[in-house]
Amino acid sequence: MTPITPQDLARWSAAYRSSPERRLATLALSQSDLKAVAFAPDAANAMHQVFSLEVPTLPVTNQKHSGRCWLFAAANVLREKIAKELNLEQFELSQSYLAFWDKFERANYFLDAMISLAERPTNDRTVAFVLQTGVHDGGQWDMFANIVEKYGVVPKDAFDETWQSSNSRAMNYVLNRALKAAAVKLRALCREGAPAEQIDAEKKAVLGRVYGFLCSCYGEPPRTFDFACTDKDRVFHAERGLTPQAFAEKYVMDLVRGAVSCIHAPTADKPYHRTFTIAQLGNVAGGRAVKHLNLPMEELKAAIIRQLQDGRIVWFGSDVGHDGERQAGIWDDKCFELELLSGLDLGISKADALDYGFAAMNHAMCLTGVDLVDGRPVKWKIENSWGDESGRKGYYICSDSWFDQYVFQAAIDRAYLGELAALADQAPIELAPWDPMGTLAD
């Protein structure tokens, strides 16, 4: 290792004191938020919420203090089909219903993983990763599809929000504490050579208590419900005694089954036009695996635009931790002069950002529009799930250059993939549990 010398410090200090830019930055940063100082209003003013292609959508939703963005965004994709078919002005599906079953199924998935890895020590990298991840609010498109396939969906008024569903941190803490305590006992039984029947009985006893705890937090999910609504023309519609599965099958299962999770991962280990899955990532035992088709960005964008042109919004995953102004509802790398303000070299490619842990998907939303100039996108309209007090009534905008750098995934119907759709049927290459393409949106 090379130590920093007094001579180094003297040289750097002299450079700082002789730089007007550094002194000006010091004055600005001493009393102001760094991102506020770096904000470039001229670039931001160019980000108008006007788009050449825009899909009409319902008002935004609000995930509140929870990490359920992937469920909100996916439910928003489905609700548009129902609302259009029934001519509804307002409609939401129950995100709590989906979250309940995801939590419950993921508890089982976690315990199964602990049992299957029982012979490995807790400092084994896979075991440590599964323990660290635990059960939380985030998820992937294929995990959403698993829940809908098994449990269906219900309208929000059939299973509404509770305090715990909207403020999930304490609930998640208690759940993960209980699951790790259970893992200690189950792994001990495995190492002691207990019969499989005893291990399974212990696991199911834990799951029974988990079910009861989740019911206390969310309420118990309905087995049947009545669906009643009045449309824009004041026409009343009612369906009685529906099961969640029947409701999903009637209205939205074609969307769920038709979607392919496509990614843009330009790293050396992930060739384009191949499919990938991630070890130890999932929620429903026996359900579909998380599976991604890796596409070049131009092909990904073209498929998204075709779906938007057909009047269908698109679920997508991105990293919203960079170059964003939440109140204005803008994501744009040109809106922040961070290099000018900091004097630092901040350039990093998308591939290197993935490989070096700088960027990965952390939030899912819906693309609802795009502005095309000479056939090429310059900015995108986004339906967020952070309520209607930021952006334009909760709708955001991102530049195409930001899209290139920080959008990693989109769920696209096979119909809009054209000849690429057949590639989704390949047997996937398995990636390590900690691969950035396994990051969960929350």
Where do the domains of the chain lie? 53-438
* Catalytic site residue from 172, 283, 294, 384: 384
Q: Active-site residue 362, yes or no?
A: no
241: left (phi over 0), alpha (psi -120 to 50) or beta: left
Burial class (CB in 10 A: 0-12, 13-18, 19+), 332: buried
Judge whether residue 45 has pLDDT over 90. no
Q: Active-site residue 237, yes or no?
A: no
Distance between CA 35 and CA 44 in Å, rounded?
A: 13
DSSP assignment of 86-107: HT-SS--B-HHHHHHHHHHHHH
Phi, psi of 6 (to 5 degrees): -60, -35
* Identity at 338, one-letter amino acid code: L
* Identity at 191, one-letter amino acid code: R
Number of neighbouring beta carbons within 10 Å of residue 35:
15
Q: SS3 letters for 220-285?
A: CCCCCEEEEEECCCCCEEEEEEECHHHHHHHHCHHHHHHEEEEECCCCCCCCCCCEEEECCCCCCC
pLDDT tens, 262-312?
A: 999 999 999 999 999 999 999 999 999 999 999 999 999 999 999 999 999
* Catalytic site residue from 69, 229, 366, 398: 69
* Catalytic site residue from 229, 363, 366, 398: 363
Structure tokens at 119: 């012979």
Say what the pLDDT of residue 44 is: 87
Q: Shortest CA distance to 302 belongs to which of 195, 221, 416?
A: 416
Distance between CA 21 and CA 341 in Å, rounded?
A: 8
pLDDT tens, 414-425?
A: 999 999 999 999
Of all helices (H) and strands (E), which one includes residue 377? strand 376-383
53-438 topology per CATH? Cathepsin B; Chain A (3.90.70)
Question: What's the mean pLDDT in 43-62?
Answer: 94
Distance between CA 142 and CA 275 in Å, rounded?
A: 14
Judge whether residue 400 has pLDDT over 90. yes
Q: Shortest CA distance to 153 belongs to which of 84, 211, 102?
A: 102
Q: Active-site residue 217, yes or no?
A: no
